[in-house]
Amino acid sequence: SKAFKKLCKKAESVILLTGTPVLNRPIELYPLLNLLAPHEFSNYIAYGKRYCSGHRKEIITRGGIKRLVWDFTGQSHLNELNQKLQNTVMIRRLKKDVLKDLPPKQYAVVPVEISNQDAYIKAENAFISWLAEQVRKGVYDRKRLNSALKAEALVKINYLKQLAAYGKLNMAVEWIRDFLESGEKLVVFAHHRDLINRIAKQFPGCAVIVGDTKNRMDEVDRFQNDPKCRLFIGSIQAAGVGLTLTAASNVVFLEYPWRPADFDQSVDRCHRIGQKSSVTAWCLIANVNGIKTIDEKIISILQKKRKTVDAIVDGTVADKINVLDDLISSFSA
């Protein structure tokens, strides 16, 4: 990024093109704005204080020393930021405006009974008990944990996500098999490599892309052009961007990313130029009787988080949200 900044300084003009200028929070936009309009966006601290609820917070270093640092992880005055962007550097073009013949996207939620309900309930109850213990100790104040405890909470949450994903495996394979009987092609996204490999073993000849796949374009070409290859399975991180998978108009998620942009980008592997059918994103949600599972909580929070991005680029109203904090709070409510 430093080299790119030097290059921009030598250029007569700079035009940046991006479909996802903000993944999580408004502070991520500052480096781009500083490149485009360094006179208008010249002060990182001032920008963070105005648009990111910037405030000083105390941290403890590894050496045990207390120090004050700026926290720019929040959001504030987003409507003002949107107006400033439109008046200075931003031209917003929506896909529906420039690709008017592109069919719309649809979303469907499919509740799936998990096979490991007892293990999931046990793990969730253990997490709730752990949170209650932090409250008792006085280290869980106003629905916020310190960095070390957040890291521990994230490990526990990821374990719940893993249990939910593997609990859906048998039903997911059955759902995929039933879908493929329609004769249509299907794109499947997940996160854990072992889960992806287990599904792939059930469907010999399917196209697969994970982090270490070397012949990626061969897999894409096979899925796009070979009528016998009707299933594509990819990890969200490795296959969620930069690929064209328009041979399918149906996308199914077995696991979910932390950022709405990653979810949208994955769906857009199918919803792009060349697509002639309406694209449907199917969300397989772990279902446990009487419990709002980790899948449901993440989907709900991603929907709220999407409003933050929309508020910056479209000027809509946003709820204040931090995914991990809000996810933790949803278990301690």
Q: How many CA atoms lie within 13 A of 129 on its CB side?
A: 6
Question: For residue 229, which phi and psi values (nearest 5 degrees)?
Answer: -95, 95
- DSSP conformational letter for 95: H
Q: What's the pLDDT band for 24 if we cut at 50, 70, 90?
A: confident
Residue-averaged pLDDT of the chain: 86
Bridge partners, residue 235, by sequence: 190
Comparing 25-34, 100-109, 234-243, the range with the smallest average pLDDT is 100-109
Contact status, residue 254 vs residue 196, Cβ threshold 8 Å: no
pLDDT tens-digit readout, 73-111: 888 888 889 888 888 888 887 766 766 677 778 999 999
The reported pLDDT for the residue numbered 143 is 46
**Residue 231 scores a pLDDT above 60:** yes
First to last CA, the chain: 42
Q: What is the DSSP string of 86-110?
A: HHHT-----HHHH-TTSPPEEEEEE
Residue range 234-256: average pLDDT? Answer: 94
Q: Where are the beta strands (DSSP E) in the chain?
A: 55-60, 66-71, 105-113, 186-190, 207-209, 231-235, 250-253, 279-287
Q: What's the pLDDT band for 225 if we cut at 50, 70, 90?
A: very high
pLDDT tens-digit readout, 135-166: 777 655 544 556 677 788 889 999 999 999 99
Q: How far apart are CA 47 and CA 290, in angstroms?
A: 45
Q: What is the CATH number of domain 105-332?
A: 3.40.50.300
What sign does the dihedral 23-26-28-34 (CA atoms) show?
positive
| Residue-range domain boundaries for the chain | 2-92, 105-332
67 versus 135: the higher-pLDDT residue is 67
**Residue 308 scores a pLDDT above 80:** no
**Residue 263 scores a pLDDT above 60:** yes
What sign does the dihedral 253-258-260-262 (CA atoms) show?
negative
What separation in angstroms does the CA of 60 have from each of 66, 141, 144? 5, 17, 16
What sign does the dihedral 48-258-263-228 (CA atoms) show?
positive
**For residue 14, what is the enclosing H or E element?**
none
- 279-287 and 250-253 beta bridge pairing: parallel
- One-letter amino acid of 311: A
Residue with tokens 């772990």: 286
Contact status, residue 95 vs residue 20, Cβ threshold 8 Å: no
